[in-house]
Structures are given as structure tokens and as C-alpha cells.
């Protein structure tokens, strides 16, 4: 039975919503083999496993030899929730998947991340949910992880959250002093059209990285930037770039850059609309981006596309 089911799952079913029953390796209440059902969209198939993506963007790999049944499940009509309805901590989880670290380690719901110093997002502890241990131990584990990987210990926390208060009580302070911190903006994706002039690639080539800047180690940067499964690097007229990633129903926009000699031509807005169209074609109906609170030109660019501030976050460092 297992072999028959395994052979029935092929690449032609990628994109279908399936319910797959697989053995866990344990015993059920009656003493027989324990099985569990996983529902999601089939996104990958190889000789040894299949990968299903759930609605929240989380991907689950199932070993084919343990699969005992699979069936197609009709796509349920979505009751679309506005982008602003999501919880700040859940949105933090989604943004973290869109900018993955080279090495990560779970601490309960927290994620300890390192990527050779390339960007704060990939070299800090993403603090959300329950760390599974008392706070003093969790904070100590954040520091220990950073020391082991030779980076500065940082905690990324939502402003005005319980965790920001707990870290502040322990003496942790924001990096950058009194400068306004970063914000996450969100928008619902409306009607956006494909722009044939925009070139989309699955990799960040040398030209794209040159426009992006801020790259000391191209290999390391590519590992982070190209890490998500559904990511594209957009280029317009060889003078403007952007990056878009799809995680579940969410599109993440980043790295919108235009050559200074070609600004004020509407290229950045065209790129963003094109990236939103690319993401919508892949099932996204909401979008997020991250910027600094005092970046007035960027905020002016995003507002006409419907982006509004969802929450702010800050990087905290331990007391000296």
C-alpha cells in the first residue's frame, strides 16, 4: 500500500491541496501503528520525500516510505483577513522566514540566528512566543549563542511588547541610541498587473548585488537572500532592483534600489507593483516590508501602494 501511494504522488500534482496520512513511528492507543494527517499544498517531490506547505507558509517534509494514504482536498474559499489583522509576533515569524539565517537554532518559539554579520535580521534572536525556559535563562542562551558564533548578542523585539519590557528590566538597551527604530508596514494586495519590462530571476547575480550594495561577502549574501523557496530578484532597465519573497499568503518586499542617476522616473514604484503582481500570481494576497521610521522618502513611496505601519521593532543588546 505504501509503495502504491508513494508512486501516485508525482510532480504533476504540485500545486494541489492534499491530505496525506503518514506513520509517525510510534504506537496508537489501540497498539497499532500511529499515523497523522497533514494538509497542505504540494510544493516539492523527490525520490525520498514530499513537501507540503500549510496556509501559514510553514513547510512540512514527509518521508515517502511512511506515507500510507493521500487524497486531493478541494481548495477552500478563503475568508480574506485584512493585512492589519495579523498579530505582531506572528508577522515576525513570517518576516523571519523571508530573510533566513545561515545557521539558526530554536529556543522554544524564539529563533537564534547567525549569518556571518550580514544584516541585523539574520544575526539576532527573533523574540516571539514562549522560549520554553525562564526569561533569565533565555536571555543567557541568546548571549551564549552569539558568543559561540562570534557575533554581537542582539534580541529583535516588538516595541511596547512584554518581551521589550522584560529585556529592559534586565538592563538590555536599544542599539543606535535614541534614533527611531525600524517598522514593519503591511498592505493588502489589490489589482496589480504584470509589467513585461521587469526581469525576474531566482538568483541574485553580480549586477543585482552591485545595485544592492552593502555586500562584503557575495557568497554569504546570496546564501541569505536566495534562502527562501519562493524568492525572485527583480531588475528594471538594468538600473533598478527589488527582491520579493512569498511565505504562505504573504509577500515580502525588500532591497528596492534605484541608481541615483535614474531616480524620480517612477522606477521604484513600477518595481514594487511588478513584485506584488509576481507574488499575487503565487497566491499572496497581503504584503509586508521593513524600513526605518525616519526614512521619509521610502514612506512616501510606499503610502500610495496602501502600506501602513503595523508595528515597530528594535534590536536590544545586553548591558556591558
Q: What is the pLDDT of residue 130?
A: 95
The residue with cell 526614512 is 295
* Residue pLDDT, tens place only, 44-90: 888 889 999 887 777 899 999 899 999 888 765 556 789 999 999 99
- Mean pLDDT within 14-26: 87
pLDDT digits (tens, 9 = 90+) for 286-303: 999 999 999 999 999 999
Q: Which residue has the cell 505601519?
A: 309
For residue 31, pLDDT beyond 90: no
Asked if 232 and 243 touch (Cβ cutoff 8 Å), the reply is yes
**DSSP readout, 172-220?**
-EETTTTS--EEEEEEE--S----TTEEEESS--HHHHHHH---S-HHH
Phi, psi at 198, each rounded to 5°: -90, 130
Class of domain 190-284: alpha beta
Task: Tell me how crowded residue 243 is: count the other CB atoms within 10 A of its CB.
Answer: 24
Nearest to 167, CA basis, from 318, 28, 292: 318
pLDDT at 195: 93
Higher pLDDT, 75 or 239: 239
- Tell whether the model's pLDDT for residue 249 goes beyond 50: yes
Cβ–Cβ under 8 Å, residues 57 and 94: yes
Could you state, in order of their start, the residue ranges of all structural domains in the chain? 2-72, 86-181, 190-284
pTM, two decimal places: 0.78
DSSP 123: S
Structure confidence at residue 3 (pLDDT): 38
For the cut 90, the answer to whether the pLDDT of residue 320 exceeds it is: no
Beta strands (DSSP E) in the chain are 17-27, 33-45, 49-53, 59-63, 67-72, 103-107, 110-114, 125-126, 155-158, 173-174, 182-188, 198-201, 231-236, 240-247, 250-258, 286-292, 308-317
pLDDT higher than threshold 80 for residue 28: no
C-alpha cell, 59: 513547510
The residues pairing with 253 across neighbouring beta strands, listed in sequence order, are 244, 289
Hey, what's the cell of 66? Answer: 511512511
**6 pLDDT more than 50:** no
Q: CA nearest 40: which of 60, 65, 22, 24?
A: 60
Q: How far is CA 193 from CA 119, 190, 203, in A?
A: 32, 10, 23
For residue 172, pLDDT over 50 is answered with: yes
Cα–Cα dist 34/17, whole Å: 23
Residue range 2-72, CATH number: 2.30.30.100
Torsion (CA) 120, 206, 94, 308 in degrees, nearest 10: 80
Which residues neighbour 266 within 8 Å (Cβ) at sequence distance 6 or greater? none
- Copy the grid coordinates of residue 37: 494527517
Task: Report the alpha-carbon distance of residue 218 to residue 271 in Å, rounded.
Answer: 23
pLDDT of residue 2: 38
Q: How confident is the model at residue 188 (pLDDT cuts 50, 70, 90)?
A: very high
* pLDDT of amino acid 76: 56
Quote the CA–CA distance of 95 and 80 in Å, as a whole number: 20
Amino acid at each position: 500500500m505504501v509503495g502504491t501511494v508513494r508512486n501516485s504522488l508525482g510532480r504533476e500534482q504540485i500545486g494541489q491541496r492534499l491530505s496525506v496520512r503518514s506513520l509517525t513511528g510510534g504506537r496508537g492507543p489501540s497498539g497499532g501503528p500511529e499515523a497523522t494527517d497533514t494538509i497542505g499544498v504540494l510544493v516539492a517531490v523527490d525520490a525520498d520525500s514530499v513537501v507540503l506547505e500549510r496556509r501559514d507558509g510553514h513547510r512540512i517534509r514527509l518521508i515517502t516510505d511512511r506515507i500510507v494514504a493521500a487524497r486531493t482536498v478541494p481548495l477552500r474559499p478563503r475568508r480574506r483577513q485584512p493585512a492589519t489583522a495579523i498579530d505582531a509576533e506572528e508577522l515576525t515569524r513570517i518576516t523571519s522566514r523571508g530573510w533566513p539565517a545561515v545557521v539558526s537554532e530554536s529556543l522554544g518559539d524564539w529563533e537564534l540566528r547567525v549569518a556571518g554579520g550580514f544584516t541585523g535580521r539574520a544575526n539576532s534572536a527573533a523574540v516571539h512566543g514562549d522560549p520554553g525556559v525562564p526569561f533569565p535563562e533565555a536571555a543567557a542562551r541568546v548571549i551564549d549563542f552569539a558568543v559561540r558564533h562570534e557575533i554581537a548578542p542582539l534580541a529583535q523585539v516588538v516595541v511596547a511588547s512584554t518581551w521589550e519590557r522584560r529585556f529592559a528590566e534586565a538592563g538590555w538597551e536599544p542599539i543606535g541610541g535614541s534614533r527611531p527604530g525600524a517598522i514593519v508596514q503591511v498592505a493588502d494586495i489589490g489589482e496589480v498587473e504584470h509589467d513585461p519590462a521587469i526581469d525576474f530571476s531566482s538568483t541574485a547575480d553580480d549586477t543585482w548585488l552591485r545595485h544592492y550594495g552593502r555586500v562584503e561577502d557575495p557568497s554569504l549574501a546570496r546564501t541569505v537572500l536566495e534562502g527562501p523557496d519562493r524568492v525572485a530578484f527583480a531588475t528594471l532597465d538594468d538600473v533598478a532592483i527589488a527582491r520579493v519573497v512569498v511565505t504562505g499568503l504573504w509577500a515580502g518586499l525588500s532591497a528596492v534600489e534605484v541608481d541615483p542617476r535614474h531616480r524620480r522616473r517612477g522606477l521604484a514604484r513600477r518595481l514594487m507593483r511588478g513584485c506584488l503582481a509576481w507574488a499575487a500570481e503565487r497566491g499572496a494576497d497581503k504584503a509586508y516590508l521593513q524600513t526605518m521610521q525616519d526614512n521619509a522618502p521610502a514612506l512616501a513611496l510606499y503610502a500610495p501602494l496602501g502600506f501602513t505601519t503595523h508595528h515597530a521593532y528594535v534590536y536590544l543588546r545586553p548591558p556591558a
